[in-house]
């Protein structure tokens, strides 16, 4: 399963124990679990300037107000905080791109293309600790994702129609 793959690569030292026991020195916390499982003391024991993605919804693993003094970057699944990580960023564009390509399926390459497109919406000039994820209301997101997904569908041969000229040019540059 996916969690085993992630554990093998993200926990090479094979640490065991509670979250509080294994988080010391960690650079990043990615939470997709339950509210309030991460204490401020845990965050303070992480590496300097850690990244905390507390995405349990509606209540994150730690409240941003509590974590923010100790983190370099904070993100949640909530719209009332900066850096909302929300599947709404991906799905309209993923489906539009898949439909435009008449894709037989949505494969891993298409999903990776969507992720890269979302990340690419924010320019280096815009990027900051409070702005690592574009807003779900940013009109650039759907277009960027749909074009990237459509191009990826052609690149992985799951598309059932010929690419438009702009998509063909994108595929050629990805070469």
pLDDT digits (tens, 9 = 90+) for 126-150: 999 999 999 999 999 999 999 999 9
Q: Using H for helix, E for strand and C for coil, what is the string for 80-138?
A: CCCCECCHHHCHHHHHHHHHHHCCCCCCHHHHHHHHHHHHHHCCCCCCECCECCCCCCC
* DSSP per-residue letters across 50-78: -EEEE--SSS-SS-HHHHGGG-SEEEES-
Which phi and psi angles does 144 have, rounded to 5°? -60, -45
Q: pLDDT digit string (tens) for 62-84?
A: 999 999 999 999 999 999 999 99
The candidate with the shortest Cα–Cα distance to 64, out of 51, 46, 76, 79, is: 76
3-class SS of residue 106: coil
9's tokens: 């690569």
């Amino acid at each position: 399963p996916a969690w085993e793959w992630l554990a093998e690569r993200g926990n090479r030292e094979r640490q065991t124990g509670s979250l509080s026991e294994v988080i010391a020195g960690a650079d990043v916390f990615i939470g997709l679990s339950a509210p309030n499982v991460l204490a401020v003391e845990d965050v303070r024991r992480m590496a300097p300037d850690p990244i905390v993605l507390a995405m349990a919804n509606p209540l994150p693993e730690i409240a941003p107000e509590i974590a923010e003094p100790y983190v370099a970057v904070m993100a949640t699944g909530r719209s009332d905080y900066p850096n909302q990580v929300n599947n709404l960023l991906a799905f309209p564009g993923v489906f539009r791109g898949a439909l435009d390509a008449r894709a037989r399926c949505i494969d891993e390459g298409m999903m990776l293309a969507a992720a890269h497109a979302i990340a690419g919406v924010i320019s280096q000039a815009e990027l900051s600790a409070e702005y690592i994820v574009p807003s779900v209301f940013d009109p650039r997101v759907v277009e960027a994702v749909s074009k990237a997904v459509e191009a990826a569908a052609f690149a992985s041969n799951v598309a059932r129609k010929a690419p438009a000229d702009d998509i063909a040019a994108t595929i050629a540059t990805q070469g």
